[in-house]
Structure 1
Amino acid sequence: MCGIHGFYRFDGERVDPAQLTAMGDVTRHRGPDDEGQHIDRNGRCGIAMRRLSIIDLAGGHQPISNADDTLWVVCNGEIYNFRELRAELQDRGYRFKTGSDSEVLLHLYDEMGDDFVHRLDGMFNFALWDARRKRLLIGRDHLGVKPLYVHQSATVLGFATEAKALLQLPGMRTELNRDVLGDYLHLGYVPAPHSMFSGIRKLPPATLLAVENGEVREWRYWRLPATIDRSVSEAEWVDRIRSGMESAVHRQMVSDVPIGAFLSGGVDSSAVVAYMARHSSHPIRTYAIGFEGGEAEQLYNELPYARQVARLFGTEHREIVVKPDVVGLLPKLLWHMDEPVSDSAFITTFLVSEFARQDVKVILSGVGGDELFGGYRRYLGGHYVRKLERLPRWSRRLMSRAAELMPSDRHSKVLNTLRLARGFLASAELSPDERYRHYLQVLDHETVSALTGGRNGSSDALAAAFAAAGDEDALNRMFAVDAETQLPDDLLMLTDKMSMAVSLECRVPLLDRELVELAAAIPESLKVKNGRLKHLMKDALSDVLPPDILDRKKRGFGTPMGAWLKRELAPVLRRLLATDVVRDRGLFDPAVVSRLMADHESARIDGTDALLALMNLEIWSRLYLDGHSVDDVTAELKSHLA
């Protein structure tokens, strides 16, 4: 695990090693244990890394070369099947210098060319320099667990695990990419291939990019399978899921350093812990987080369930109960994120990562289980629409009108139920694709247009993802869209950035490629059955987890941010989104912003995600566009509390 970076020069100038060093210095948190760089003898290309030592602690220094120094590689992440690949390659006569998982990339590329990526099971981004062909090849893993940013100009192509490293390149100007503001306000994150920086883009998941003879070529090497297998019985699917989950967790436990697991007490993290316990000779270390405070905070407190699972599997369990200094955290965390987001889970993920890093260097997480096996409430839309359609049309219209008058707030049990009912009724008459959009959107297109004065930008990430998705099965169609958008560009992005902010490697075994391909073939009618989310997955775990864990209501891994915006954070919110501040920034209509704040305050809408998106964008702008330090922005925000 590390951060990689480097660049290729088109103009004949030599790569300056000091520039590579500067790129590494700004991402030192990704790899505090080691650093290295290689510049080709002609000076055209340089690749470099910062290393967090996980496997082959003494011998895994990067960049790694082959025997005659004609191939060089830097790799961020883990290749879980490297031992099997290494044995195959040794049988074919390849000789290894190290015990590192990254070295298999060199010899596998030598053996198979670009097709070598099809053999990799892991989370990774890499850069490989082929001196024989004077060719740079960079790539990103199948699901996009590890991020990779690219900058291309007439003189240089740069790449880095974090965008801030590319800002160290000579001639780079830090400018806002206004074309993505519409998508950002609509979804709460910036979808690939775009980024919030002008001139910097994200390499999409499962994508390779090659530079050879001054030419750049980019292509997709894998997509989520779109064929549903209806020949398999329900009992057989249960067996396959059970075996697939256990195998994935076991594979991802490979490590030469202490390893642990996040444990919320939900189905996904509990399943990971259960299978870890089966394959460990000593107690698993588990980590959970809760919040101090009133009703809003208690809605996010899953500690009793985490304790129950910890006792069941005899883990070494640690808990942290926090009342976080959110104002003090936000500037630092948004600097680490590179791009603003509206998902408050980035705060929770950082806090529990920081806590776990006291003991371990590697953590396993349950991220991805909801997408694979149908765990989100939005996947029940079709189920409840079919029930609603049994009612007379006049009664449905009456219910929709009543829903518009319902208060909306996610931080009270009663108001949260009303919020969910309001959202469902407002979208019930829409097509499945538009209903999905309605569930996920932070702000609708009409409000985005009002905010931006009609300058929404031309991209629509959800429309593009739906156009590429299969249409054989509605639920798996949504899964395909999730895998192209929210999963890599929101959940996995924040998981990577927030864990690596404290030099912690976070693995996501439920997104193992074989398990993902298995899940993609399961019919909708079995994933979610009779209104039961994760039906097959829960049946597969029935011999592992108790019913009260399997069937308890889902709670996201976030924070009571909406309540905080009305209470502790209200002075900061009002100042950051004040009319003069919004007007001076010049991006949004101040009157529309003020109306959003007022509607959230009065519970006319649940504006949590929208206001966090706007507030985080302003903080991000002060850091990256205005050039203020994290400490200075933090001090300014704290002054507003005073």
Structure 2
Amino acid sequence: MCGINIILGNHSKAEQLAEQMMRATAHRGPDFSSYTKVSEGVYFAANRLKILDLTDASNQPLWNKEKDAVLAWNGALYNYQDLRNELLDLGYHFQTNSDSEVLLYWLRHYGKKGIKQLKGMFSIAFADLREKNVLILRDPSGEKPLYFSNSEKSWFFSSEARPLTLCQSKKIDKRQFLPYFYQRHSFPDSSFYEGVGQVLAGTGFLFDFEGKILDKFSWAHPKQPSLSPTQNSFEELLKDAVLKNFHTERRVGTILSGGADSSLIYALWYEETGEPIPTFTVTFDEKKKAKYADPTFSKKLGRKYPSLGKEVFVDLEKTQKFWPDYISSLDQPVADSASFLTWVTAKEASNDVQVLLSGAGADELFGGYNRHRAYAHYLKNPVLWKFLKKTGIEIILPSNLQKMVASIEPNEAETFIQMSALQHIPTDSLPQFVHWYPRGSSPLKNALEWDRSFYLINDILKIHDNACMAHGVEGRAPYLDFELITMSQHLSEEQHHQLLGKVWIKEALKKRGLGYIAKRKKLGFGLPLQEWSKESAYLDWVTPTIQKMEATWGDHFPEEMRTLAKKPNSAKGRQYLQVWNLFVLASWIEQQSL
């Protein structure tokens, strides 16, 4: 929806920086940009993409009529109508139909105490001139990013990391090479810029106008689901989430892979409305369509649930053509080829829609990844799997079982971290990852929460936000509705085992005659890197850039990262994924002149 930039604490060039930061995030809000002086040394800047209430009255930063409260925020508030009704009962009057005005008055009335009632995706900055304080927070789902830096006794916040380098020297954080190589992204509290961190999901701060922290707090999703966990209640909640995500005054489309998650979203929408909407499906050349069959399944879905379908063709030549534009728009390197696919899809979608939905979150909430099944097998008999690892039997096993056996570690947390890693993490580096692992008493639930809080937020949601916002499109994810997350988190360990493999989603598809989608083998959303890695045109393209990076930064790489970066052509097995990851990072470093 927007980009926000905040300065607190009497920086000598605060106004100048506020304007520069605002211009740096202009792509996030192409409809309007402005900044305002809140108090001496306190500036709010915002870029607006108009989604609800298309009038200028909802432009940001948004002041109340008394001029004693101001809001700059990024996201969408899906329960704003309920909050609005409560405020009306309290005597408030509204000048617009936007969720922004509701949020402004809600926080003015309730302050920090009202945060737990907010349901949506958001990063928020709210200043109360009566109390002379500023509230900064990021929602527990982590759909909308929020970065910060602290220098010269001043605090800076932004929807992207790059604008914060305007406030300090731009240096690479060499500590992030480790998580990037093994898990595709920086650690959750960091960025690839030294001195620029991330506000963690579900975390907030209360500052005074001088930049002093008055309070730091965290909160989570509701403690109890609104409905008991059944197949029918799941479908009811998902249908409600889909309708809430479609509630806009701009045109909405969906990324449709023909897989279970996106197909069910579209089916539910069409059942409720009977209205075909734009869908966007990635397609590759004819030789690859047997394996990458998204168009085949999307077209078959369209026979029952018609759509305004559009195919987005991608090949190596097109990837090379758009690569400079893609890299220049990449705020932070995330080594997932789905990032480029989402970017090029959003680029084409931006001609037709301003909001783009995806199926993100379903796998993490309801156990959809192959590693979830593997981990469940391990949990049934950890002693056996530890014994198998000691025997060295993995060398004669198929590749998927090799990965599973090699991942076995002395404890459950380290075992799942290894299962989720692209390559086996060295023992002496594991504690840095274990630090982020959930500490509940239910091992499978811990694994799912790791994938939600570590992988989903820092990989999938980051690339969805960055790729869409690069083209002035808002990305949304119905599966991450607060009610659905709450339902997932309050399933018992036994229930999660029973529902593993997204049973509810697949049953919902079967009920609608879409069993062929429910039975489709999971492939994932990404470029055909395995096939490209055998082509000289691809290797000749990526190798020089990777080796150039290694020559400059290799001394700071993990040993295995440096070995591969020296000789990308020597990649074995699934290392073709990491060759791509190295290329993304090398291209980003080169573009950033780091």
Correspondence 1:7 to 2:7:
yes
Code of the residue aligned with 2:326 in structure 1: it is L
Alpha carbons 2:75, 2:122 under 8 Å: kept:
yes
Structure 1 residue aligned with 2:506 = 538
Say whether residues 1:48 and 2:41 are aligned partners: no
Aligned position for 2:319:
326
| RMSD, aligned CA | 2.9
Q: Which moved more, 1:213-222 or 1:499-508?
A: 213-222
Matched position secondary structure for 1:239? helix
**CA shift at 1:30, angstroms?**
0.8
Matched, 1:463 2:431: no
Give the 3 Å change call, closer, same or farther, for CA 595–299 of structure 1 in structure 2.
Answer: farther
Alignment of 1:364 with 2:357, yes or no, is: yes
Q: Summarize the Cα distance change of 1:176–1:432 in structure 2 as closer, same or farther, 3 Å threshold.
A: same
Q: What's the offset of the Cα at 1:371?
A: 0.6
Q: Which runs of 5+ in 1 are unaligned?
A: 404-417, 450-455, 627-642
* 2:396 paired with 1:397: no
CA 1:284–1:30 in structure 2 vs 1: closer, same or farther (change >3 Å)? same
After TM superposition, give the deviation of residue 491 of structure 1 in Å.
Answer: 0.7
Q: Is the 8 A contact 1:291 1:298 kept in 2?
A: no
Task: Give the distance between the partners of 1:63 and 1:494, measured in 2 at CA.
Answer: 26
* Counterpart residue type for residue 185 of structure 1: F
Cα distance in 2 for partners of 1:9, 1:395 equals 55
Whether the 8 Å CA contact 1:300–1:559 is kept in 2: the answer is no
Moved more, 583-592 or 328-337: 583-592
Q: Deviations over 1:113-139 (max 9, x none)?
A: 102221111111121121122212111
Q: Is the 8 A contact 2:284 2:314 kept in 1?
A: yes
Aligned partner of 2:207 in structure 1 is: 211
The offset of 1:429, in angstroms, is 6.5
Match of 1:64 in 2: 62
- The AA in structure 2 aligned to 1:400 is E
The counterpart of 1:585, out of the listed 553, 573, 586, is: 553
1:435 aligns with 2:432: no
Contact 1:65 1:72 in 2 (8 A): yes
Distance 1:183 1:394 in 2: 28
1: distance between equivalents of 2:78 and 2:452?
A: 21
Unaligned regions of 5+ residues in structure 2, if any?
none
Q: Structure 1 residue 361: deviation in Å? A: 0.6
CA shift at 1:381, angstroms?
1.6
Q: Does 1:521 align with 2:514?
A: no
Distance 1:576 1:543, change over 3 A: same
CA positional deviation for 1:426:
2.1
After TM superposition, list the pairs within 5 Å mapping 1:310-389 onto structure 2. Answer: 310-324=302-316, 325-385=318-378, 386=380
**Matches for 1:32-47 after TM superposition, within 5 Å:** 32-40=30-38, 42-47=39-44
Aligned to 2:166, the other structure's residue is in SS state coil
CA drift at 1:528: 4.3
- Provide the secondary structure at the position in 1 that maps to 2:36: strand
Of 438, 457, 473, the match for 1:488: 457
Number of the residue aligned with 1:165: 163
Report if aligned partners of 1:228, 1:522 keep a CA contact under 8 Å in 2. no
Structure 2 equivalent of residue 190 of structure 1: 186
In structure 2, how many angstroms separate the alpha carbons of the residues matched to 1:393 and 1:590? 29
**Which residues in structure 2 correspond to 1:233-382 (within 5 Å)?**
237-280=230-273, 282-292=275-285, 294-295=287-288, 298-324=290-316, 325-382=318-375
Size of the aligned set, in residue pairs, is: 589
Shift of 1:594: 6.9
Would the aligned equivalents of 1:283 and 1:315 in 2 still touch at CA under 8 Å? yes
Q: Contact (CA 8 Å) 2:178, 2:557: kept in 1 or not?
A: no
Partner amino acid, structure 2, of 1:570: L
- Deviations 1:214-261, CA, capped at 9 Å, x for gaps: 4125634323679999x96xxx52122111111111111110011111
> What SS does the aligned partner of 2:230 have?
helix
CA distance change for structure 1 residues 598 and 178 in 2, over 3 Å: closer, same or farther? closer
1:177 is the counterpart of 2:157: no
Segment of structure 1 superposing worse, 346-355 or 433-442? 433-442
Aligned partner of 1:609 in structure 2 is 577
Does the CA contact (< 8 Å) of 1:245 and 1:510 recur in 2? yes
Q: Comparing 137-146 with 323-332, which one deviates more in the overlay? A: 323-332
What is the letter of the counterpart of residue 184 of structure 2? G
Partner Cα separation in structure 2 for residue 52 and residue 326 of structure 1: 27
Q: Distance in 1 between matches of 2:573 and 2:83?
A: 54
Q: Do 1:528 and 1:535's aligned partners in 2 also have CA atoms closer than 8 Å? A: no
Letter of the structure 2 residue corresponding to residue 481 of structure 1: W
Does structure 2 conserve the Cα–Cα contact (< 8 Å) formed by 1:582 and 1:590? Answer: no
Match of 1:192, SS state, is coil
Whole-angstrom distance in 1 between the partners of 2:88 and 2:436: 41
Aligned to 1:23: 21
Is structure 2 residue 541 aligned with structure 1 residue 572? yes
SS at match of 2:232: helix
Secondary structure in 1 aligned to 2:436? helix
* Offset of residue 613 of structure 1: 2.7
Q: Distance in 2 between matches of 1:423 and 1:443?
A: 9
Cα shift at 1:582: 1.8
In structure 1, what is the Cα distance between the partners aligned to 2:155 and 2:542? 39
Q: Which moved more, 1:67-76 or 1:303-312?
A: 303-312
Superposition deviation, residue 377 in structure 1 = 0.6
Instruction: Indicate the larger mover: 127-136 or 252-261.
Output: 127-136
Q: TM-score, normalised by structure 1?
A: 0.85
Distance 2:374 2:360 in 1: 22
Helix, strand or coil for the counterpart of 1:175?
Answer: coil
1:534 positional shift: 1.3
